[in-house]
Every structure is written in C-alpha cells, then in structure tokens.
Amino acid sequence: MRGPHNLWRLIRTGATLERTGAMRAVMDALDAPRPLRIVLRGVVWPFRWLGYKGDPGMPPATRALSALGPAYIKFGQVLSTRPDVVGDELANQLRVLQDKLPPFSLAEAKRSIETELGVPADDIFMEISEPVAAASIAQVHKARVRDTGEAVAIKVLRPGIERAFRKDIDAFYLAATVIELLGPKARRLRPMDVITHFEGVVMGELDLRLEASSASEFAANTANDEGFTLPEIKWPHSGRRVMTMGWAEGQPMGDNAALDAAGHDRAVLGERVLQLFLNHALRDGFFHADMHQGNLKVAPDGDIIAYDFGIMGHIDEYTRRVYAEILYGFIRKDYKRVAEVHFEAGYVPADQDVDEFARALRAVGEPIFGLDATKVSMGRLLSYLFEVTERFGMETRTELILLQRTMVVVEGVARSLNPQINIWKVAQPVVENYIRQSIGPKALARDLGKTAMVLARFGPRLPGLVEAALIRQALPPEPPATRETWLLWLGAGLSASGGAVAMAALIYLLD
C-alpha cells in the first residue's frame, strides 16, 4: 500500500497545501532545508489548481487540513500535541482545528449498529435522533434504551473510515520517506516516528472498545472526586464500531451566558477544572488529554461532566514525582532544586553544569513570576522550561509534551470561566498534597513495602536466579576451540564451584 500509486494522493495533498498557503507555513515550522522547499514547490506548483480551496477564513494550515478530510484533520490534531515537532505557532493553529464534518445518514448509522451488535438498532434503542455531533472519525446520536427508557449517547464510526484512514496513512509514510531522502536535516524531526505515532493513535481511536475501556478506567480512578462525573459505559450495547454511554445532560462549559443563567459559580468551576486535571495527572497518572470546552459540560447540580475519551494521557509514577518536584520547586522559586531534580532523573546529561542550568531556569521563572498573579501561566512556564532543557541536551519526552499541551488547554478553560483566576494559587494545594503523599517518610515506607512484596514473590526463586547469573558470568563468551581446553575449563569449574559451573559447561558442550 505504500508504493508509488500513492504519488497522486501526495500531489493532491501538496497542491492543496500550496493553494491554501499552508506549504510555506509547514516548511517554516519544520525548518525545511532550501533544496527540499525547491523540490516540493517545483513538483506541486504546476498542479496547484488541483488543490482544494478550503475556507479562506481559516489560518492556512487548518484551512488545508480541513479541506483534505478526516485523516488530515486528525493528523493536525495529533500534531497540535507535538510543538516539539511543528513549533509553538503552528501547534497553536492546529489546536483550534475544527473537528466537524458533514454527518452521514441515520439509516447508515442504524445499519452499522445492527452489523456490530447483531440486533436491529430499533430493537435496542428508541427515539434515535439525527446526529447531534459529527467529527472526523465518528458521530453521535441521542437515543433511549428500549428496555429501560434511559437516555444514552451512541457513538458510531463513519462507514469505511478504517479503509480511508489506511490509504491516507500509507501516503503519509511515503511522504515521510521522501522528506528523509531529500532533506537530511529534517531527519532530526523523525518524520517516520511521527507517522508511526499518529498511526498508533488513530488505530486506537478506530476501535471504540479501547475508548470504552479508557472511560471505564478513568471512571474507576475518579469515582470519589467531588464535583466530577463521567457518563457510564453501556457495555452490552458497545463494540468495535459502536459505543453507548449515558447521556450527559448539562450546560456546555464554553457557554458562559448559559452557565450564568443556570446559576453556576464560574469562579468555582474554573478552580475545580484545573485542580481535577492536576489530580488526575499527578495522583492517577491517567488524564483526559483533550479536556477542552467541547468535551465538558456542567450538570444541573454543578458537577463537571467529561466525555470523549479518544485521547488519554499516561504518566508513570516516577515521572509524576519528578514533574511534581519540578512544579513545587518553581512554586517556591527554588531553582537549584529544580535543576538537581532534572539531573537526578537523568533528563539532563551528567556532563552539564548544574549551577549554570539553575541560572537558566531562574531566567525562565523570574519573568513569569514577576507578572501579576492572574497572568502567570503554568503552561507557558512548562513551554519555556522545555526550551531551556533542550538547550542543555534533554531528549524529547512525549508524555511530558502531551501533559504540557493539555495543561495549556485546561488553563484556557479555567481562564474562560474566570479571567482573574490565580493559576498557581489554585494549583499549589494539589501539588503540595501530592508531594506530601509521594515524597517523604510515608512514601519511602510505602516504596520499601512494595519492594519487599516483589522480593517475597520471587523469594523461592532468588537462589536459582543468583546461581544462574553467576554461571552466565563464568561461562566463556565463545565455545573453547579444542577438547583439551574444555577439559581444563571443566576441571577449573569443579574445583572453583563444587560442580555447578562444570555441570553448566557440560550442558553447554552437549548442546
């Protein structure tokens, strides 16, 4: 599928990028070398008239990707989480990419439901609505379960979307190959790795069972979070191409007028959404990575409701501790400790100067903390931090990039609810509580307990594992060349180890 027959698809893509003005923006963002720019523009310019026109009211990149269709829209969304690849300016443009497409018919949706669940849709649901939302991969219908009358949301994949995405992904791989061949300098951006990452994200979203599983895990983690609820997954009515969950009834988080009319305190909501996100990221290490206003509602009782779990972020426990110490160090303006944490975690190579790194971090933190408290941005701080660490040789960490991107989005949600919110004041108790729980005597005792449990499980096998390790050290890297050498080695083994090494050598010889 990744052969030359994809050239026409790439030419059509290039023509659209050129016609919408996105070609220059993309090449600038990728810092593409001049020869590559000349070759690409030389190839696509004669075909410019074949490109889609798109919406002139959009920025060039979002205009082009929206015109090219679902796979390109989703690709733009994924790239918006990777400012380390496309740069901050282009990432910001892609972040507001409109994920809305013309819906497919209700009749097609019912056919998909019947094919997936093995029962006619009208036998399971009643009052199935026309699409209430249509995105690049799926669309949503409101309905009621026939047996219970409960209101539900039914998410259905677009017909043929898997095949369409596969074709476009194959073309993306070809494009990445061309870029690596024609622009050696662009290899630092790892275009093939970027496409592989995109393929993994998309293939996960094309199996709604995985999204349902993420929603279920997220619900289990947050079951005791006050003021936060998730729609319940209806597993009997869900499958690979269909997912059913409880209907989220409430006011859209992005409609301030509706929130005010319903009597909700927007300042409280702004603080809660930020603290919830930090708790999910630090406490659980599993967070909603697409937490914008379009995926949030406010229930009549004031609870925040989240939905659409196609993109979730995961951070291991060690990384969470490092991240929390970094934030806590900045909150206390202890730049030396922030620098030491980076070195202790191995994020910055040991041959760098810790004091010089601390001074660079102070240059990041002081201008931000010198602002009015209501203008201090944690997302901006993390963005600047990554710039500095990159200069000191820190390798890109995808999970932190996703965390930083989501932090920026959540801050935007919080500020849209309350422009005067003090981000650091709201975040401080969450970070301090996590520090107390995860770093200190209690955490040390807990870690030692976990280590003891692991050793207990492997206890009966430990002598054998140690002996096997010693044998591996004693065995020669290559079989001895002659029989006499073997006999000498066996004798040495018998005298040195009471027979264990010799027995291993004999088995090794016979094998």
- What residues are labeled active site? 290
Q: Are 336 and 358 in contact (CB under 8 A)?
A: yes
Q: How big is the chain, counted in residues?
A: 511
* Among the listed residues 135, 57, 59, the one whose alpha carbon sits nearest the alpha carbon of residue 92: 59
Across the strands, what pairs with 140? Answer: 133, 155
Q: Are 215 and 309 in contact (CB under 8 A)?
A: yes
* Among the listed residues 309, 319, 315, the one whose alpha carbon sits nearest the alpha carbon of residue 216: 309
Strands 228-229 and 304-306: parallel
How many Å apart are CA 374 and CA 381, to the nearest integer?
14
Q: Are 222 and 230 in contact (CB under 8 A)?
A: yes
How many Å apart are CA 390 and CA 348, to the nearest integer?
9
Q: Are 160 and 167 in contact (CB under 8 A)?
A: no
* Among the listed residues 296, 307, 156, 309, the one whose alpha carbon sits nearest the alpha carbon of residue 246: 307
Q: Are 208 and 243 in contact (CB under 8 A)?
A: yes
Q: Are 78 and 48 in contact (CB under 8 A)?
A: no
How many Å apart are CA 335 and CA 326, to the nearest integer?
9
Q: Are 231 and 248 in contact (CB under 8 A)?
A: yes
* Among the listed residues 60, 42, 37, 48, the one whose alpha carbon sits nearest the alpha carbon of residue 12: 48
Across the strands, what pairs with 306? Answer: 296
Tokens 């080695």 found at: 489
Which segments of 89-241 are extended strands (E)? 125-126, 133-134, 138-145, 151-157, 228-229
Q: Are 401 and 82 in contact (CB under 8 A)?
A: yes
**What phi and psi, each to the nearest 5 degrees, are found at residue 103?**
-75, 160
* First and final C-alpha spacing in the chain: 44
* Among the listed residues 54, 71, 57, the one whose alpha carbon sits nearest the alpha carbon of residue 17: 54
Q: At what angle do helices 7-20 and 60-68 cross, to 10 degrees?
A: 140
Q: Are 97 and 65 in contact (CB under 8 A)?
A: yes
Structural element, H or E, at residue 251: strand 251-252
- How far does CA 443 lie from the centroid of its chain? 28
Helix (H, G, I), strand (E, B), or coil: what is residue 125?
A: strand
